[in-house]
Amino acid sequence: MAPKEIERKFLIRMPDFSRLTEKKDYHSDKIIQIYLSDHKATTRVRRREREDGVEYTRTSKVRISARSAYEDERTLTEEEYKEALKEADPALSPIHKVRHCFRENDLTYEIDVYPFWDKLAVLEVELTEEEQALPIPECLAVVAEVTEDRRFKNRGMAERIPDITPFLSKL
């Protein structure tokens, strides 16, 4: 059985990145993810550009609940990645984002910044239990929790970019 992933998601005010770079284990990656035609799971391939090179992965998720999914991920060669792109779902757009990561409170915080929003970003935090307490670092301002809102899952965004206008009034 694939490992279980538990995560929560939040819309946050665009953070001050100069403050984030001071955090433990901070790094940022440029990511492109493409969803594949797969009727059994949500499957994607991802190209992740890091300071030290490029990494390719293929991930399949089967959702258990809004917070949990079984996740099977494996590293690909560049050739395998290019071959997998032939399976891309034509109804879904590629997702481009910059992911900013850091460690705090014994957790990894991942902030995804998308090119189509300039005031909001998405914070993801992986947990070990569904009901685990989740301290939000003081440098981040949560606008709304969107864990259960499928529009803010990356696959949902590949279908249609969500309208964030109602959330902007909370800034």
**Would you list the domain boundaries of the chain?**
4-168
- What is d(CA 29, CA 47) in angstroms, rounded to the nearest whole number? 10
Q: Is the pLDDT of residue 131 over 90?
A: no
Cβ–Cβ < 8 Å for 69, 3: no
The pLDDT value recorded for residue 116 is 95
Q: Mean pLDDT across the stretch 29-40?
A: 95
pLDDT tens for 107-123 read: 999 999 999 999 999 99
pLDDT tier at 1 (50, 70, 90 boundaries)? low
155 CB contacts (<8 Å, ≥6 apart)? 35, 42, 44, 92
Provide the mean pLDDT of the chain. Answer: 94
The third-level CATH classification (topology) of the domain covering 4-168 is: Hypothetical Protein Pfu-838710-001 (2.40.320)
Give the model's confidence band at 2: pLDDT under 50 very low, under 70 low, under 90 confident, else very high.
low
The tens digit of pLDDT for each residue in 62-102 reads: 999 888 999 999 999 999 999 999 999 999 999 999 999 99
Looking only at the bridges linking them, the beta strands covering 68-76 and 4-13 are: antiparallel
Average pLDDT (137-142) is: 96
Task: Work out the percent of the chain whose per-residue pLDDT is above 70.
Answer: 99
Short-list 37, 75, 65, CA closest to 153: 65
